[in-house]
Each structure stands twice: as C-alpha cells, then as structure tokens.
C-alpha cells in the first residue's frame, strides 16, 4: 500500500469516528429511547395479560360467587339487565332496579342543562342556555356519542372491567340538583357516579364511589382510578378556519403555569408530572376537568377533523389518586367539571379567596391575551375599561369607539413627538437636497459622504432621526395587545353593529364557493366590508403620509412604496379576522388622520425652521448615539479606502 492510499484510509477512518461521535445520542435522546422501549414492553405485557384474560374468561363465569367478588358483581349486573322488564327512576327510599335500555335524566340550572344517560352513567349532552350557535341553534358542547366517559377497573385476575356499556340506575335527590347513577350488585356492593349542579353555576361537582369491592379489585385499581374521556369538538362559530386556530387542549401542572398543545396539527402529550386540570377548548367555550387530587399520569391527544361540523377530536387518559373510607369499605375520587364560556372574569373568579398561589387554578389563562410580555396591557388596562363600559349598557360599536379614543388619547404625546420629529426633518429638506446634489451617484464613497454630511446637519440643528421611531416603538405594546384582545373577547360574540351582525367574526359582503389558489388560503371565500374600508383608508393615509414624511433623502425605490404594500398585504391577513378588530383599526386610522391634520394646521414650519437654524449657532454636545454613528461612518470610510487601494493594486498588476 502506497503512502497516499494509507493517508486516504486514515482520513476516512477519522471522518467515520468523528461522524459517530457527532451523531451520538444525547442524554435526553437516550432517556427518550428508554421511555419508548419501556412503553413497548408495557404494551407487550398488556397484550400478554389480555391473552391470558381471554383464556380465563370462560372459567370466570363458573367460579362460585364470593362476598366482594367484582366478577360476580358484573355478571349479576348483566343478568339483571337481561331479565328486567321495565325501567325505573329511583328516589333515595325506593328499591333499586336495573333498566334494560338507555334512559336520559335532566339536570339543569339557569345557566346549563345536562342530560345524564343510564348507559354508562355518563353525561349524554351539555347545553348552554345563555348562548346560541352561529346559526341560532341551541349551543351544545356535545350530544350522544360525540363524547364518551369510561371508568376502567381491573379485578384480581387483571381482567379489565369497563363501565361504558353497562346500565346504571338513576337516583334523583329531593332538591333536584343532584343525581346518583348507581351500578349495583347488592345494597353493599355498587359503583356510584354522583353529579351535583349548584344554582347559577357553570361548574358542577362529580364523584366516583366504589363501595364494597375491595376483595375483588386489583390493588392498583384501589390506588388509582383510570379515566378515559373523549370529545368531538363542534364548530360553534361562522369562521371555521379562524375558530380552528383557537381550538386546543390546555393543561396546568401542579404548582406551575398553564401550558397548551399545538392547535395547528394533531398532537399528543404524555404528562408524567401531577396535572391540576386539563381543558378541551375552542375559541369561546371550554370543558375543564379538575380533580380534587392532581392526576398522576395524563395522556392527551388532539386530532384534526376536516369533515362535517367538527373541528377536533380530543382524548384524555388519566390516572387519578383514590381516597379511602375504610369504615364504609369505600374508595372514591372527586372532580369539578366546568362547562362554560372562555370569559376572563368568570374564570378568574374561581381563584377568589385562594391566597396560596400554588392552589390557584388560573383557568383565566385560557383567554388568549397575547404573549406574556404583552398580556399585562390587556389584563390591567383594556379589560377593566372594556368591562366598565359594557356594564353601562352601551352598544358594542360605541364601546369600541370609546376604547379607541382612550387609546389614542394615551399615546397622543408619543404621536406628537413622532410628528414633530418628522416635521423637523421635512423643513430641512432643501438643505438635504443640496447635499444630494453635492455628492451625486450611488457608489459607496459618495453615499457615505452624503450620509456623513446629513448626520452632521441633523446634529447641528438638534434633530435626531431616531426620535420619530422611538415613540412608535413605545406604543407598539398597546397596538399589539388589542390585536390579541378582539379575537378572544367573547363579549363581542353575536353583538351586531351597522351591517355586521356579529363583531366576533368576519362581516362578509361578497362570498363565493370553490378554491382560488392563494386567495382562499389567506383570505377565505369572502370579502369583509370593515376590512376593505380599513384597507382603503390605510392606503390613502399611507400615500399622504409618504409625501409629508419626505425628507429629501434618496431612498430605494421599493422602500418608498412599502407602507402602501403593507396596507394592501394586511387586507389579505385581516380579512378573516373579527369585524370588531377591523372596525377598531378603521377608527384608529381615521382618528390618526384627524390628529395629523390638526398637528399640521397648528404647526408653523417657518417658525420651526428658524428654531433649527438658531440651534446650529449653539455649541452642541454630541449624543452617545450620534457619536457612535459617526465612529461607525469613519470606520466604513476607512474600510472603503482600503478596499479601493486593493482594487487599484489588482488593476495595476493586470
């Protein structure tokens, strides 16, 4: 083997070793692989257990009944169902009997109406009384098999026992605000699902009680109840694609903040830390499951549904710790269910009186008020004012107008500062044009000389180019906060103004069917009138503002028309946004135009120019920004001269 071949082989070996080291899995990846392998082993163990259970199922029915046997309990329930001739609704003093088919029991207050099913003992439907679907139908969270709840238990032989297809007996309280769904083998052996609905509440109480079965249940089932919850999320709003953006599963770890799953695609999460609650949420309504003791392990799934009147299919598998009442041989777990609007103050009220931060639910974090660094504007400024105006009985259109005026009043000093900064540069335009003539051309040297002399002129006159940008940046948090506020404000839902019958969704004046490439994707199959008016006003104002802001400096051709391009671009972005947001932007632009005209009429540009000329005569101390800018220009000039010398040398050699 020659020297070159040997060197080549060594290099190849070095590359392979380096590549192996580079692609070596990290500790996190190794841990993830281990969890995956453990999950596979658990699945295989479960499969093997089920095979054993299947082989033993036939023999289980022949086992003599024993006190506390879960097998005998479930077989007794099935035989009772097959032999029963009628249904019965029990009162606390009546004799229990098992129905032969599904029966629905109503449980309601002045806010929500539930129907409970004897099949599985589950909630068959949930309807909100104070809200309607976008087509004016009753607003149901779900009905029938659109949702499913199931309690899984395991007997001593590790056979899974599920409640979803078994029939319960309803026991209605005398005050009609509580229903017990009971699955019993005898008065001493039964499973209770207890539903309690207080007056004037969206939050209800739910308890699971397993009584007299400790001898027949697997020890793990006595430590943790396994719950399966599935719900298809109905489309409730006209803007289906926009509503889908806000449909997501949210959850809160114990002693931590609220987290959310990806709303843009199917997603799954396995949460091994204690979970204080999870929520199946759409844009304006939510189902929240809150255990008394945090879930030990929770697996959440969110899948898109692209057909029918559904948005998502949500699923949850959760293990909840069991409390023990040894005196009564009872095992139980308590929950709260929230079926209601995603309304900030309604949800925040559930933390009222809780001093310990770790015990707070923070349900109001489901209201999307923007990024954390922005949300304080909505929480401490926009929401209180909006709520105060709403409590005065004003129409929503007038509320938005007053809110816009207040915002403009607050940022008025910043607006004036920006206007005067632009005006100062505008009155210096003739002098800037002289500098442009003095240093013509687009080569780097001429451009740097123009820039240097322009900055010297501004410095002498006491003009800072950045003083016009800074006020705009300072008011951005308010403007961005309102961008998040309007799509999340349920107060706008089905509130009309002028031609818009619902300010929480788009106000279409033209609609069409079919798919137009790019157009349908970005703006849907409609044109929103408020958005169109807002765009027209923005284009007109941007054109006018470009003339007013012309300082005489040369600009790139594309940059000159950027404001107009952005105004048109925002039409495609905002066309599917709520009419209330576009109405706010329309008002905001109109008010800004009026304020600009007032500033222009009251500003004496000749007097301003004279003031700037006087500033030139005064000794000026350079600001830190101007000093750094000049230093940067000197450095650029030096680098340009060096490059010019290098190019001259290269040309000379040629």
**What was the pLDDT predicted at 622?**
55
Concatenated DSSP letters of 418-448: HHHHHHHHHHTHHHHHHHHHHS-SSSHHHHH
338 lies in a domain? yes
**What was the pLDDT predicted at 16?**
47
**What was the pLDDT predicted at 567?**
83
654 lies in a domain? no
Which own/partner contact pairs does 512-519 have at CB distance under 8 Å and 24+ positions apart?
A: none
Q: How confident is the model at residue 549 (pLDDT cuts 50, 70, 90)?
A: low
Structure confidence by residue, pLDDT tens digits, 279-289: 999 999 999 99
The answer on pLDDT for 86 being more than 60 is no
The answer on pLDDT for 395 being more than 60 is yes
CA–CA distance, 37 with 34 (Å, rounded to integer) = 5
Closest CA to 368 of 488, 242, 477, 248: 488
Give the tokens for residue 485: 């506020």
Concatenated DSSP letters of 214-280: TTTB-HHHHHEEEEEEEEEEEP-SS-HHHHHHH-EEEEEETTS-EEE--SSS-EEEEE-S-EEEEEE
User: Do 249 and 324 share a domain, yes or no?
Assistant: yes
The better pLDDT of the pair 315, 214 is held by 315
High-pLDDT (> 90) share of the chain, %:
38
The answer on pLDDT for 455 being more than 80 is no
CA–CA distance, 553 with 544 (Å, rounded to integer) = 18
User: Do 599 and 501 share a domain, yes or no?
Assistant: yes
CA–CA distance, 498 with 395 (Å, rounded to integer) = 11
Question: Residue 317: in which H helix or E strand, if any?
Answer: strand 310-321
Structure confidence by residue, pLDDT tens digits, 48-59: 554 544 443 343
The better pLDDT of the pair 227, 450 is held by 227
User: Do 187 and 295 share a domain, yes or no?
Assistant: yes
Closest CA to 221 of 213, 232, 230, 233: 213
Give the Cα-Cα-Cα angle 195, 170, 175 (nearest 5 degrees): 60
The answer on pLDDT for 221 being more than 80 is yes
The answer on pLDDT for 458 being more than 50 is yes
Average pLDDT over residues 454-467: 69
199 lies in a domain? yes
CA–CA distance, 131 with 237 (Å, rounded to integer) = 12
User: Do 473 and 557 share a domain, yes or no?
Assistant: yes
User: Do 213 and 308 share a domain, yes or no?
Assistant: yes
Q: Is the Cβ–Cβ distance between 580 and 486 less than 8 Å?
A: yes
**What was the pLDDT predicted at 169?**
92
CA–CA distance, 406 with 506 (Å, rounded to integer) = 25
Alpha-carbon torsion (7, 10, 16, 19), positive or negative = negative
What is the count of structural domains for the chain?
A: 3
Question: What's the length of the chain?
Answer: 654
Strand pairing of 123-132 and 138-143?
antiparallel
**What was the pLDDT predicted at 60?**
32
CA–CA distance, 520 with 508 (Å, rounded to integer) = 14
**What was the pLDDT predicted at 28?**
52
User: Do 218 and 295 share a domain, yes or no?
Assistant: yes
Structure confidence by residue, pLDDT tens digits, 187-202: 889 999 999 999 999 9
> Looking at 329, 349, 367, which one is the last position of a domain?
367
**What was the pLDDT predicted at 442?**
64
Burial of 532 (0-12, 13-18, 19+ CB in 10 A): middle
Q: Is the Cβ–Cβ distance between 270 and 324 less than 8 Å?
A: no
Q: How confident is the model at residue 326 (pLDDT cuts 50, 70, 90)?
A: confident
The answer on pLDDT for 138 being more than 60 is yes
SS3 state at 156: coil
CA–CA distance, 629 with 405 (Å, rounded to integer) = 38
User: Do 290 and 156 share a domain, yes or no?
Assistant: yes
86 lies in a domain? yes
Q: Name the residue with tokens 């020297």.
A: 3
Q: How confident is the model at residue 317 (pLDDT cuts 50, 70, 90)?
A: very high
14 lies in a domain? no
Mean pLDDT for the chain overall: 79
Concatenated DSSP letters of 63-95: SPP-TT-HHHHHHHHHHHHHH--S---B-TTSP
User: Do 398 and 328 share a domain, yes or no?
Assistant: no
User: Do 187 and 207 share a domain, yes or no?
Assistant: yes
SS3 state at 336: strand
The answer on pLDDT for 276 being more than 90 is yes
Within 10 angstroms of residue 76's Cβ, the number of other Cβ atoms is 17
**What was the pLDDT predicted at 260?**
92
Average pLDDT over residues 531-543: 89
Cα 319 to chain center, whole Å?
26
CA–CA distance, 352 with 275 (Å, rounded to integer) = 21
Give the Cα-Cα-Cα angle 495, 496, 500 (nearest 5 degrees): 130
Give the Cα-Cα-Cα angle 330, 229, 191 (nearest 5 degrees): 20
Give the tokens for residue 151: 């309690």
Phi, psi of 577 (to 5 degrees): -80, 165
Please report how the helices 396-410 and 579-602 are oriented relative to each other, as an axis angle in degrees rounded to 10.
Answer: 40
CA–CA distance, 586 with 531 (Å, rounded to integer) = 8
User: Do 86 and 59 share a domain, yes or no?
Assistant: no
The better pLDDT of the pair 333, 91 is held by 333
Within 10 angstroms of residue 571's Cβ, the number of other Cβ atoms is 20
**What was the pLDDT predicted at 277?**
95
> Looking at 334, 367, 400, which one is the last position of a domain?
367
Max mean pLDDT range (106-120, 435-449, 470-484, 597-611): 106-120
CA–CA distance, 155 with 195 (Å, rounded to integer) = 26
Give the tokens for residue 118: 């004897």
1 lies in a domain? no
**What was the pLDDT predicted at 123?**
95
92 lies in a domain? yes
High-pLDDT (> 70) share of the chain, %:
73
Instruction: Kindly report which listed range (71-75, 170-174, 307-311, 578-582) carries the lowest average pLDDT score.
Output: 71-75
Find the DSSP H helices in 496-654. Answer: 519-523, 529-548, 557-560, 562-574, 579-602, 605-617, 624-653
The better pLDDT of the pair 236, 473 is held by 236
Instruction: Find the farthest-apart pair of alpha carbons in the chain and give their distance in angstroms, rounded.
Output: 112
The answer on pLDDT for 97 being more than 60 is no
CA distances from 158 to 149, 251, 641 (A): 21, 31, 84
User: Do 480 and 608 share a domain, yes or no?
Assistant: yes
User: Do 308 and 422 share a domain, yes or no?
Assistant: no
SS3 state at 111: coil
Q: How confident is the model at residue 424 (pLDDT cuts 50, 70, 90)?
A: confident
Secondary structure letter of residue 654 according to DSSP? -
CA–CA distance, 108 with 116 (Å, rounded to integer) = 11
625 lies in a domain? no
The answer on pLDDT for 112 being more than 70 is yes
**What was the pLDDT predicted at 83?**
34
CA distances from 130 to 136, 138, 340, 341, 597 (A): 12, 9, 10, 10, 46
Read off the CATH number of the domain in which 100 is found.
2.70.98.90
Give the Cα-Cα-Cα angle 418, 422, 425 (nearest 5 degrees): 145
Domain around 133: 69-367
**What was the pLDDT predicted at 82?**
36
Q: How confident is the model at residue 615 (pLDDT cuts 50, 70, 90)?
A: low
């Amino acid at each position: 083997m020659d020297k070159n071949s040997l060197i080549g082989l060594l290099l190849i070996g070095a590359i392979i070793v380096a590549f192996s080291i580079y692609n070596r899995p990290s500790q996190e990846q190794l841990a993830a692989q281990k969890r995956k392998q453990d999950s596979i082993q658990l699945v295989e163990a479960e499969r093997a257990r089920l095979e054993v259970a299947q082989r033993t199922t036939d023999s289980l029915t022949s086992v003599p009944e024993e006190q506390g046997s879960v097998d005998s309990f479930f077989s007794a329930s099935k035989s009772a169902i097959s032999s029963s001739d009628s249904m019965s609704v029990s009162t606390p003093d009546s004799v229990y009997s098992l129905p032969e088919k599904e029966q629905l029991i109503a449980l309601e207050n002045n806010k929500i109406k539930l129907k409970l099913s004897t099949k599985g003992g589950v909630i068959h439907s949930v309807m909100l009384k104070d809200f309607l679907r976008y087509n004016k139908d009753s607003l149901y969270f779900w009905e029938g098999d659109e949702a499913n709840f199931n309690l899984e238990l395991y007997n001593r032989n590790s056979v899974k026992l599920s409640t979803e297809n078994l029939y319960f007996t309803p026991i209605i309280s005398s005050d009609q605000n509580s229903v017990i769904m009971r699955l019993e083998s005898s008065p001493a052996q039964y499973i209770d699902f207890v539903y309690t609905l207080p007056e004037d509440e969206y939050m209800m109480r739910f308890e699971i009680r397993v009584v007299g079965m400790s001898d027949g249940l697997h020890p793990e089932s006595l430590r943790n109840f396994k719950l399966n919850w599935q719900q298809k999320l109905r489309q409730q709003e006209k803007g289906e694609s926009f509503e889908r953006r806000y449909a997501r599963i949210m959850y809160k770890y114990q002693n931590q903040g609220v987290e959310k799953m990806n709303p843009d695609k199917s997603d799954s999460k396995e949460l091994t830390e204690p979970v204080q609650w999870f929520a199946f949420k759409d844009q304006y309504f939510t189902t929240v499951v809150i255990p008394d003791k945090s879930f030990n392990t929770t697996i959440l799934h969110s899948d898109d549904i692209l057909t029918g009147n559904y948005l998502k299919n949500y699923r949850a598998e959760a293990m909840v710790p069991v409390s023990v009442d040894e005196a009564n041989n009872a095992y139980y777990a308590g929950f709260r269910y929230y079926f209601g609007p995603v309304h900030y103050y309604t949800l925040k009220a559930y933390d009222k009186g809780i001093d310990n931060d770790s015990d707070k639910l923070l349900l109001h974090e489901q209201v999307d008020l923007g990024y954390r660094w922005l949300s304080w504007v909505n929480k401490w400024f926009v929401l209180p004012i909006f709520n105060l105006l709403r409590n005065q009985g004003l129409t929503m259109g007038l509320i938005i107008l007053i809110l816009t005026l207040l915002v403009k009043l607050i940022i008025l000093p910043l607006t004036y500062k920006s206007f005067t900064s632009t005006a100062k540069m505008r009155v210096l335009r003739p002098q800037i044009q002289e500098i442009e003539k003095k240093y013509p051309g687009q080569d780097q040297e001429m451009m740097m000389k123009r820039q240097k002399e322009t900055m010297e002129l501004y410095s002498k006159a006491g003009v800072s180019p950045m003083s016009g940008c800074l006020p705009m940046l300072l008011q951005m948090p308010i403007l961005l906060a309102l961008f998040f506020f309007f799509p999340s404000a349920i107060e706008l839902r089905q509130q009309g103004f002028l031609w818009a019958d619902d300010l929480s969704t788009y106000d279409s004046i033209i609609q069409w069917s079919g798919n137009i490439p790019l157009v349908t994707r970005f703006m849907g199959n409609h044109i929103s009138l408020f958005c169109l008016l807002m765009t027209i006003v923005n284009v007109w104002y941007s054109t006018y503002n470009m003339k007013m802001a012309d300082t005489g400096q040369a600009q790139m051709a594309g940059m000159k028309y950027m404001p107009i391009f952005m105004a048109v671009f925002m039409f495609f972005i905002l066309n599917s946004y709520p009419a209330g947001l576009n109405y706010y932007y329309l008002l905001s632009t109109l008010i800004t135009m009026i304020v600009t005209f007032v500033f222009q009429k009251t500003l004496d540009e000749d007097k301003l120019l004279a003031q700037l000329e006087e500033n030139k005569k005064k000794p000026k101390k350079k600001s830190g920004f101007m000093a750094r800018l000049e230093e940067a220009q000197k450095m650029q000039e030096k680098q340009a001269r060096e490059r010019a010398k290098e190019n001259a040398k290269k040309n000379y050699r040629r």
